[in-house]
Structure 1
């Protein structure tokens, strides 16, 4: 359990996240992921990083129960830690010195969107779904990254409704490289990573820096701006009210005040 790094092929590092049961990461998990991705990118022998996950799905975002426990005890350390940890993990993927290929299966929600939205390429299994259920969980954020996956108006509709998009839909928009059966996901991701890793090591690093340099959006600053509204939601009390309905039957949630 946790974050691990392996090197199955020359020039490739695979960073795997494994936090059962649904890969909802605790605060330390986000920092561990950031450290692993940055370390892989700094390794002079690595020319491409594959970001993968074990278990039922790629990522379910922040461990809300950890935040709830801390809030119930009168603290905000878990909330602040989760926000900072997410920011560091997303930035680590974007700023990784070499290209990052995300291998996505099952659900990719919340913080998962922050990770894949900052990746250089995405390979997804046929069962993969992508979305931001933030409004249903008393939070905001990662619209910055969802906007890198789908057109602007679709991003807004998905964000406001908390609906998900399929891997096939994202492939149609050009943000997913390939959609494959689940048992082919790992191999397909490694195949793409291998093609990248065959490039000259220095040149691929210069290419990554050059592409980031012409990006029209400063993703780190944009995401931090969004996070400010998450803090406002918490200070106003609306975040706790919405989070308290998380996991309850719809009729119980509907009984809460607007």
Structure 2
């Protein structure tokens, strides 16, 4: 299963992404991930969620090749809607979501992690929003929840990445551990949350979302509008073709 959801005896639900080779999610993958998190919200026996991934890295964003091999704008619109649904499902999950991040966390991966409640990372983890390289905009809303404003802007404009170790000083990453210890570290935090009365924790999650200074759903949707403009202007196709090594018809 590309998206797997398992409820443990300690009431921690582990949601795992597995989309080889780099966890670049296709359109359906984003919706499947959203569905898994929505299920966690509805299930009162779920007290906390660990969001993790198999493979080389946590998440490489959207599947650019799927987009370029699909005629018209169906894949683009699908990716926009799918990412919005998945990010929203993380943010609005009725229980806290602990992101366990290893390797690369790029683009859409930052959207997931930026909306999580707690982030635990391995010592090889790094974060970035390389959208400008593919003629898109997005996830600045979520990167701004991980780093200070000026660093976010620099990362956005340059497509640079930032290591998890640097995020420790901002408090956006709780702890950085060896890769082999990542799952245990994330499960430990989630288990600590899950041990509390879930009625209180669910109320706390709703309360904390209610006092957030930025509406992440509206903010991200605003960003997506500029991506659509760039696509209509032909800029995005040109840059994605170069990235994917194909033309619009899928020829190399």
Show structure 1 runs of 4+ deviating over 4 A: none
Q: In the aligned structure 1, how far is the partner of 2:242 from the partner of 2:12? A: 43
Is 2:64–2:244's contact at 8 Å kept on the other side of the alignment? no
Q: What pairs up with 1:144-155 in 2 under 5 angstroms?
A: 144-155=141-152
Q: In the TM superposition, what are the counterparts of 1:49-88 in structure 2 within 5 Å?
A: 49-70=49-70, 73=71, 75-88=72-85
1:235 correspondence with 2:232:
yes
Deviations 1:16-65 (A, max 9, x none): 00000000000000000000011012111111000000000000000000
- The TM-score normalised by the length of structure 1 is 0.94
Pair 1:190 & 2:187 matched: yes
CA distance in 2, matches of 1:154, 1:235: 30
Q: What residue number does 1:169 align with?
A: 166
Distance 2:244 2:234 in 1: 19
Q: Distance in 2 between matches of 1:107 and 1:68?
A: 22
How many residue pairs align between the two structures? 245
Residue matched to 2:248: none
Q: What is the match of residue 44 of structure 2?
A: 44
Give the TM-score taking structure 2 as reference length: 0.96
Give the conservation status (yes or no) of the 8 Å contact 1:41–1:49: no
- Alpha-carbon separation, structure 2, partners of 1:243 and 1:7: 38
The CA RMSD measured in Å over matched residues stands at 0.8
Q: Is the CA contact 2:65–2:244 (under 8 Å) kept in the aligned structure 1?
A: no
CA drift at 1:8: 3.0
Partner Cα distance (1:205, 1:133) in 2:
34
1:151 Cα deviation (Å)?
A: 0.1
Gaps of 5+ in 1: 249-258
- Name the structure 1 match of 2:139: 142
Distance 2:7 2:203 in 1: 22
Task: Kindly state the Cα deviation for residue 173 of structure 1 after the two structures are TM-superposed.
Answer: 1.1
Q: Tell me, which stretches of 5 or more residues in structure 2 are unaligned?
A: 246-252
